[in-house]
Structure 1
Amino acid sequence: MQDIENKTAYITGGAKGIGLGIAQALLENGVKVAVSGRDKKALENAKQILNSENLIVLQSDVRNFNDEQRAIEQIVSQFGKLDVVIANAGVGKFGSIDDMSLEDWNTMIETNLTGAFHTLKASAAQLKANKGYYISIASLAGANFFANGAAYNASKFGLVGFTQAAMLDLRDYDVKCTTIMPGSVSSNFNGHTPSEADNWKIQPSDIGQMVVDLLKMNSNVLPSKIEVRPTKTK
């Protein structure tokens, strides 16, 4: 098992839901963490919840490559390096092809897919230098299509393919790449407010523990794609 204490990690979409759960798990294991998002209020709330001297919060829109470049520069300036990047930022808007607006289509593709590319593009040099780890948070929707999900499916199928291809591009630099594909998660996704009715779902802390386990795994082992589901359907 690898020691991850004092490593540094960057989590996009880290102010709530899965991203916040991952941040909590990493901080508990001695990792220095930077989280980013677009919503300043949510970032301030996350800062209070996480309450750690090993945390920085950054306002960044993954759709903007320059934002991600600045975020990486700030992380390296404060922490000295960057070892782990978790592309978690994502949105979901659902509807049939004839009802889907151009704006909703573009928002999903630009956030869920192009945003992940921006994050990895901006951080690749640091990951190569530090033999780092890139993890994308995709979805079972990246392997299972459904009605009214064409745009979301397209973004997540694309994210899975992107991460697997990036794995092949970066493995010779000793950079690991994994995509995690969760099913139903108790999170704030798509404006949802978690409640006790969501207890049957995967919890953000479960994904956080999965990320910790991946980072601690021996260097010669790479689970490149992980599907994870709730044990039951309710």
Structure 2
Amino acid sequence: MSDKKTAYVTGGSKGIGFGVAKILLENGYNVAISGRKEKDLEEALLQLSDYKDSVAGIVSNVRDYENEEKTVSKIVKHFGKLDIVIANAGLGHFSAVDEMSLEHWNDMIETNLTGAFHTLKASVEELKKSEGYYITISSLAGTNFFANGAGYNASKFGVVGFTQAAMIDLRKYNIKVSTIMPGSVATNFNDHKVTEKDAWKIQPEDIGQLVLDLLNMNARTLPSKIEVRPSKPNS
């Protein structure tokens, strides 16, 4: 078994998840990334080819608990252990509550909120063994509501509450639990196309650096809920 710590990042083929995975690989971690689409994972692994001995890609849908169970088993079999879990997979649909479809509501709740639970439920016994770290990527939408955001707000408010309660439940096992709540991040979220005009936003690797800072924090200290936003809003 390698002495290197192993991290699992859901939704790790692009956006924030990819940025987190890249920073962790650059800093000597083994990293498994998951996503729903094999093609996206293949493209991500190609971009991370400098770390091919330390990275693995696994097709998994966090909405399916059995998928996550199998994914965790594959990670442990491949790397020997699991130390860090980053529940990042998420999506958004935005419309007025009276116009929102049942499909869009369920899509957000089952992916953003239930998915975070599935990932923790599938990995918690391994985290107990490693006295590891579980981190959710929520959003400032988990504390600030806005028009056309009822479903997304509900899912992200839920992620924040779920993570904070999990923190209390799991600290007796020496498992650290935190949630990161980013504001505007330069990603392809909601089909946005990233351009130079997004330079003012938080970059995915900035969230990766924040995750690294949490992992390097003294064991006696736990930043359990972190709000992060661009230093200067776009004018």
TM-score (norm 1): 0.97
C-alpha distance in structure 2 between counterparts of 1:219 and 1:136, whole Å: 19
1:6-28 Cα deviation digits (max 9, x unpaired): 10000000000000000000000
Structure 1, unmatched stretches of 5+, are none
**Per-residue deviation, 1:178:** 0.3
C-alpha distance in structure 1 between counterparts of 2:41 and 2:196, whole Å: 24
**Per-residue deviation, 1:133:** 0.1
Alignment of 1:84-95 (within 5 A): 84-95=84-95
The residue number in structure 2 matching 1:196 is 196
Residues 1:37 and 2:56 aligned together: no
**Per-residue deviation, 1:39:** 1.2
The residue number in structure 1 matching 2:225 is 225
The residue number in structure 2 matching 1:9 is 7
**Per-residue deviation, 1:230:** 0.2
Q: What is the one-letter code of the residue matched to 1:91?
A: L
Greater than 4 Å deviation, 4+ residue runs: none
1:4-62 Cα deviation digits (max 9, x unpaired): x7100000000000000000000001000000000111111000011121000000000
Q: CA RMSD in A?
A: 0.7
1:201-229 Cα deviation digits (max 9, x unpaired): 00001000000010011110100000000
1:135-191 Cα deviation digits (max 9, x unpaired): 000000000000000000000000000000000000010000000000000011111
**Per-residue deviation, 1:232:** 1.2
C-alpha distance in structure 2 between counterparts of 1:50 and 1:210, whole Å: 20
The residue number in structure 1 matching 2:165 is 165
Identity of aligned residues (%): 63
SS in 2 for 1:222: coil
Residue correspondences, number: 230
Q: What is the one-letter code of the residue matched to 1:159?
A: V
Alignment of 1:43-122 (within 5 A): 43-51=41-49, 52=51, 53-122=53-122
C-alpha distance in structure 1 between counterparts of 2:124 and 2:199, whole Å: 37
